[in-house]
Copies of this chain bind each other. A is one copy, B any other.
Amino acid sequence: MRSRLAFYWRTSKTLPKQTTSQRPKSSSGSPTLEDVARLAGVSTATVSRCLNSPDRVVERTRNRVLQVVHDIGYAPNFGARALAARRTNTVGVVIPTMENAIFARGLQAFQEELGRHGFTLLVASSSYQPELEMLQVRTLLARGADALMLIGFERQQEVYDILDRRGVPYVISWAYHEGQEAPAIGFDNRLAMAELARHVTGLGHRRLAVISAPQAENDRARDRVLGVMDACREAGINTDGVTVIETPYAIENGAAAMERLMSGASRPTAVLCGNDVLAVGAVRAATRLGLRVPGDVSITGFDDIEIAQIIEPPLTTIHVPHRQMGRQAAQMIVSLLHGTPVGPLRPLDTHIVHRTSLGPPHT
């Protein structure tokens, strides 16, 4: 209704031109560059320069212009600016899910660091579907993203092709593989999980189980499971005996998986979860089943998000330096955008946080 009316108001162009009028707004409602120029008595080019490269305008003029900008509350039209400048100072990211907090901390840091450099973040979600990721990448590019952050390495080749063809810089995060050519700021999921699993077997556990996110199109999930298997092999445990349940990251899914695991014939003494969300669900299920954690069964997480400390017992988990990862990824992007050479990349360090959900196996 209101928005409809606005269209009918837009008639000034047919009204007598009053160049000297002090009416500050253009007819569309939003003041434009031209409004500012007129009011300040300069050309639009000068106004533009005041906003984008202030030192190319003499101080007296600049002050006058900025005063007008402030007075009429001018904000440059983003679309027009993007169109003309072919640059938006916007960085896009496609995360697999917004449903839980796994990406929150890292993204927050990513955004903060980008903001520090004058960039804005655009977030899209792929729901763990490769086609949707492709679509979101296109959308982000259409929206003018100057660069992209993507999670993990594995995706449709087309995504990489498009990015390369358009010359859009990108960084991969949340994962790191030795020898991967794409610029990545992340950690080695396999090594991290292997370290934890090794600790678990070191405690004497021989009957392990894993609750993982679906591995099909998720290299991080797959690597984590591989890490468990690595440790099992080292400990002489037959990996065929390690049950792996796949289920999307959600507390209730973790709980359901745990129930299945504990209703089976040979109950595991330790359940390694693909992340903290699943682990929290597992703990809740165990509690509901009347099992003590870690007395009757040990449970571990991955990520070390806030909830890991809230649950009782608090989770022994792998701490991922999400904030650092987000910050570095942002710095990397800024460097790519500025053409600053970036040094060699090293994986981030993760470490085990010993809390109480993991203990020796019951006898």
Closest to A2 in B: B167
CB–CB A167/B3 < 8 A: yes
Comparing A79-87, A199-207, A291-299, A345-353, the segment that makes contact with chain B is: A79-87
Whether A67 sits at the interface, judged by CB under 8 Å, is: no
CB–CB B101/A101 < 8 A: yes
Number of copies: 2
- Per a CB cutoff under 8 Å, which of B3, B123, B138, B158 touches A168? B3
A25, A76, A147, A307: most-surrounded residue (chain B CB, <10 A): A307
At the interface, is chain A mostly helix, strand, loop or mixed? helix
Whether A339 sits at the interface, judged by CB under 8 Å, is: yes
How many A residues are at the interface, by size bracket?
A: 35 or more
CB–CB A310/B75 < 8 A: no
CB–CB B141/A30 < 8 A: yes
CB–CB B29/A165 < 8 A: yes
A232 CB → nearest B CB, Å: 30
Whether A169 sits at the interface, judged by CB under 8 Å, is: yes
1/0 per residue, CB under 8 A from B, across A335-357: the answer is 01101000000000000000000
A85-143 CB contacts (< 8 Å) to partner B: 86-88, 98-99, 101, 104, 108, 123, 138-139, 141-143
CB–CB B75/A138 < 8 A: yes
Whether A301 sits at the interface, judged by CB under 8 Å, is: no
Distance between Cα atoms of A29 and B101 in the complex (Å): 35
Q: Which residues of chain B are near A165, meaning CB under 8 Å?
A: 25, 29
Q: Which 5 A-B pairs have the closest CB atoms?
A: A79-B79, A29-B166, A6-B167, A1-B339, A2-B167
